[in-house]
C-alpha cells in the first residue's frame, strides 16, 4: 500500500475502539463525580509556551516536541502536555479573579517525539485533572483519590501510589545545592545526560532510569531532610488525608517529576505487575504553585495529574476488557425475511433505540443465515428474529448469540427489552 500510518501513532478500530469508548465514558463519570468540569483546548499552541512553562533543558523541550512554522513564520508546537495549555487558557480568558478553586479535567491527544515502544507513542492520549487557584492540601488528596478511583474502576491490580514532596522555592534551593555537590563528586558514574544535568538541574538525575545513575542516586541526599516547616506540615497533612481515605501509599524520595514547574506534592501511580514493561507509570502529577506567575498570570497555586490512556487500557485485565467491549457493542440485530418483515424489524428497532439500545439491521441481505453471520461478526449480544409467522402472532424470537438459547416473546418493546437486558 502507498500510505501507512506515521511511526508511533495508532489506529483505534473496533473492537479496541469500543474499549476506548467505555473507558473514556467512565473517566468522564469519575472526574465529574468529584466536581471537575470538562475542558477542551487547542492542539496547536505557541512553541514558546512550553519552553517557558516546562523549562529549557527538559527532554520534552529539547528533544520531543513536534514543531513547525506557520505560513506567517510563527513557531507552533503540537501540544506535548496539557497543564501549561490549560494555564494559558485560564490566564488568557481571565477566568480567575477571586479566591475560589477552578477544577477542570480533560481527555486529549498529546504529541511527543519519543522512541516508540509498548506504552510509549508519539501521538497518545492523556486524561487528567487540574485544580487551579487552591493552596488546600485537601485538593492534593482529592485528585489522588480520583486517580485511584479510575485505576480501581477497571479492576487493575498491583498499582502502587508513590508520593514525595519536593518542597517550595525556599527549601529546594539548599537541597539543590547539596545535590549538585553530591552528583559532581560522582560525575564519572553518571550517564552523559545526567552529567549535564548535574550542572543545570541536578534534581532531574533522580528521575533517570540508567542503572548507573540509579545506583548513584540511591546514596544522594533526600529532600525530606531539607523541607521547611510549612512544606513538612503540608506533606504530613496529605499523608494523614490519604490514610483517612484508606488510600495506601509509599514515600519514594526518588520521585521528583521531570518538569520545572512542580513544587511540594509529587506523586505517581506505578504498575508493579510487569504488564507495561519499562513504561510502568500510569499517572504522574503534583503541585505547580508557581506556574501561573511564571507564565505572566496572577499567583494561582494549583495541583493536577495526567495519566496515559493507552497505558491504562493496556493494564486492564482481560475479563474486564471483554465486559466493557460487550457492553459497548451492538445489543441486537433485528433479523427479517422479506419486505414486509423488514418493516416489522424497523418498527422493533425504532422502539428499542428509543430506550438507548444499539440496534443494527442487515440491509445488504434478506437471507437469514447471512444476517445471523453478520450479527456474530459484529459481536452482537442478541438477534431479534422478526419473521412473518411471528408478525401474525404478535411475537418475536430472541436469540442469545453467546449461548445460542432462544425464546419466543411478545413483540412489545418492554418485553423485548426485558429479554435483552438480562445479561
Ligand atoms: P507526563 O506528562 O510525562 O508526566 O506523563 C503523564 C502520563 O502520560 C505518564 O504517566 C504516562 O502514563 C503517559 N505518557 C507519557 N508519555 C507517553 C508516551 N510517549 N506514550 C504514551 N503514554 C505516555
- On average, the pLDDT of the chain sits at 94
Tens digit of pLDDT for each residue in 140-198?
A: 999 999 999 999 999 999 999 999 999 998 988 899 899 999 999 999 999 998 998 88
Give the closest residue (by CA) to ligand 1 atom 16.
120
DSSP bridge pairs for 38: 105
**Phi, then psi, of 266 in degrees rounded to 5:** -130, 150
In contact, 234 and 139? CB cutoff 8 Å = no
Give the closest residue (by CA) to ligand 1 atom 17.
120
Q: Give just the sign of the alpha carbon dihedral 184, 185, 186, 187.
A: positive
Give Cα 258 distance to the centre of its chain.
18
Terminal alpha carbon distance of the chain: 42
Q: How far is the CA of 119 from the centre of ligand 1 (A)?
A: 8
Give the closest residue (by CA) to ligand 1 atom 11.
308
Q: Give Rg (Cα) of the chain.
A: 27
Quickly count: other Cβ atoms within 10 Å of residue 422's Cβ. Answer: 10
Residue whose C-alpha is closest to residue 416's, from 404, 400, 402: 400
Q: How far is the CA of 307 from the centre of ligand 1 (A)?
A: 6
pLDDT at 59 over 90: no
In contact, 390 and 408? CB cutoff 8 Å = yes
Residue whose C-alpha is closest to residue 348's, from 374, 376, 386, 380: 386
- At residue 422 the predicted structure's pLDDT band, cuts being 50, 70 and 90, is low
Residue 423 confidence (pLDDT) = 59
DSSP 194: H
d(CA 228, CA 223) in angstroms, rounded, equals: 10
Averaged pLDDT for residues 20-29: 98
d(CA 105, CA 276) in angstroms, rounded, equals: 25
Q: How far is the CA of 282 from the centre of ligand 1 (A)?
A: 7
Buried b (16+ CB within 10 A) or exposed e, 317-331: eeebbebbbbebbbb
Residue 258 confidence (pLDDT) = 65
pLDDT at 325 over 80: yes
Give the closest residue (by CA) to ligand 1 atom 18.
120
Pocket test for ligand 1, best of 65, 83, 306, 309 (most atoms within 8 A of CB): 306
- Of the listed ranges 247-256, 264-273, 298-307, 359-368, the least confidently predicted one is 247-256
Q: Give just the sign of the alpha carbon dihedral 141, 143, 148, 149.
A: positive
| Closest ligand 1 atom number to CA of residue 281 | 10
At a CB cut-off of 8 Å and minimum separation 6, what does 351 contact?
413, 416
Q: How distant, in Å, are the alpha carbons of 55, 85, 122, 251, 327 from that of 69?
A: 21, 19, 19, 44, 44
Element housing 27 (H / E): helix 16-33
Cα within 13 Å of Cα(245), Cβ side: 21
Tens digit of pLDDT for each residue in 270-287?
A: 999 998 988 899 999 999
d(CA 178, CA 224) in angstroms, rounded, equals: 13
Q: How far is the CA of 84 from the centre of ligand 1 (A)?
A: 15
Q: How far is the CA of 57 from the centre of ligand 1 (A)?
A: 18
Tens digit of pLDDT for each residue in 231-283?
A: 999 999 999 999 999 999 999 988 887 677 789 999 999 999 998 988 899 99
Give Cα 295 distance to the centre of its chain.
25
pLDDT at 344 over 90: yes
Give the closest residue (by CA) to ligand 1 atom 14.
308
Tens digit of pLDDT for each residue in 402-411?
A: 999 999 999 9
d(CA 52, CA 294) in angstroms, rounded, equals: 8
Q: How far is the CA of 284 from the centre of ligand 1 (A)?
A: 8
Averaged pLDDT for residues 126-151: 98
Residue 55 confidence (pLDDT) = 83
Averaged pLDDT for residues 360-381: 96
Residue whose C-alpha is closest to residue 161's, from 149, 146, 144, 136: 144
In contact, 131 and 143? CB cutoff 8 Å = yes
| Closest ligand 1 atom number to CA of residue 282 | 12
Q: How far is the CA of 77 from the centre of ligand 1 (A)?
A: 17
Residue 54 confidence (pLDDT) = 87
- At residue 224 the predicted structure's pLDDT band, cuts being 50, 70 and 90, is confident
Residue whose C-alpha is closest to residue 156's, from 306, 283, 267, 317: 317
Tens digit of pLDDT for each residue in 83-109?
A: 999 999 999 999 988 999 999 999 999
Say which residue, 197 or 14, is predicted with more confidence.
Answer: 14
Query: Angle 385-390-394 (CA atoms, 0-180°, nearest 5)?
Result: 115
| Bond preceding residue 250 cis, omega within 30 of 0 | no
Amino acid at each position: 500500500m502507498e500510505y501507512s500510518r506515521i511511526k508511533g501513532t495508532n489506529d483505534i478500530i473496533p473492537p479496541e475502539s469500543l474499549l476506548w469508548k467505555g473507558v473514556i465514558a467512565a473517566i468522564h463519570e469519575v472526574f465529574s463525580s468529584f466536581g471537575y468540569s470538562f475542558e477542551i483546548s487547542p492542539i496547536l499552541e505557541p512553541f514558546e509556551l512550553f519552553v517557558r512553562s516546562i523549562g529549557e533543558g527538559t527532554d520534552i523541550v529539547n528533544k520531543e516536541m513536534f514543531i513547525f512554522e506557520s505560513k506567517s513564520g510563527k513557531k507552533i508546537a503540537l501540544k506535548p502536555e496539557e497543564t501549561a495549555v490549560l494555564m494559558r487558557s485560564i490566564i488568557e480568558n481571565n477566568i480567575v479573579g477571586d479566591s475560589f478553586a477552578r477544577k477542570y479535567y480533560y481527555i486529549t491527544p498529546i504529541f511527543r517525539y519519543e522512541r516508540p515502544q509498548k506504552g510509549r507513542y508519539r501521538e497518545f492520549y492523556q486524561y487528567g485533572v487540574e485544580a487551579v487557584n487552591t493552596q488546600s492540601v485537601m485538593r492534593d488528596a482529592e485528585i489522588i483519590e480520583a486517580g485511584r478511583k479510575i485505576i480501581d474502576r477497571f479492576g487493575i491490580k498491583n498499582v502502587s501510589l508513590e508520593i514525595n514532596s519536593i518542597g517550595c522555592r525556599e527549601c529546594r534551593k539548599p537541597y539543590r545545592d547539596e545535590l549538585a555537590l553530591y552528583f559532581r563528586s560522582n560525575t564519572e558514574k553518571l550517564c552523559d545526560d545526567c552529567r549535564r544535568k548535574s550542572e543545570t538541574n541536578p534534581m532531574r538525575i533522580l528521575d533517570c532510569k540508567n542503572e548507573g545513575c540509579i545506583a548513584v542516586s540511591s546514596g544522594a541526599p533526600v529532600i525530606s531532610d531539607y523541607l521547611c516547616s510549612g512544606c513538612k506540615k503540608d506533606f504530613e497533612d496529605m499523608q494523614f488525608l490519604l490514610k483517612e481515605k484508606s488510600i495506601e501509599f509509599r514515600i519514594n524520595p526518588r520521585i521528583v517529576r521531570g518538569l520545572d514547574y512542580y513544587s511540594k506534592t509529587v506523586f505517581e501511580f506505578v504498575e508493579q505487575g510487569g504488564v507495561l514493561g519499562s513504561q510502568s507509570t500510569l499517572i504522574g502529577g503534583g503541585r505547580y504553585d508557581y506556574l501561573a506567575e511564571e507564565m505572566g498570570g496572577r499567583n494561582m497555586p494549583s495541583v493536577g495529574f495526567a495519566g496515559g490512556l493507552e497505558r491504562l487500557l493496556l493494564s486492564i485485565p482481560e475479563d474486564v476488557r471483554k465486559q466493557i467491549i460487550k457492553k459497548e457493542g451492538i445489543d441486537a440485530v433485528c433479523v427479517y425475511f422479506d419486505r414486509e418483515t423488514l418493516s416489522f424489524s424497523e418498527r422493533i428497532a425504532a422502539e428499542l433505540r428509543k430506550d438507548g439500545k444499539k440496534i443494527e439491521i442487515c440491509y445488504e441481505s434478506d437471507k437469514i443465515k447471512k444476517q445471523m453471520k453478520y450479527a456474530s461478526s459484529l459481536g452482537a449480544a442478541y438477534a431479534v428474529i422478526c419473521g412473518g409467522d411471528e408478525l401474525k402472532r404478535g411475537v418475536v424470537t430472541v436469540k442469545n448469540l453467546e449461548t445460542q438459547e432462544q425464546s419466543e416473546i411478545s413483540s412489545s418493546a418492554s418485553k423485548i427489552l426485558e429479554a435483552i437486558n438480562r445479561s
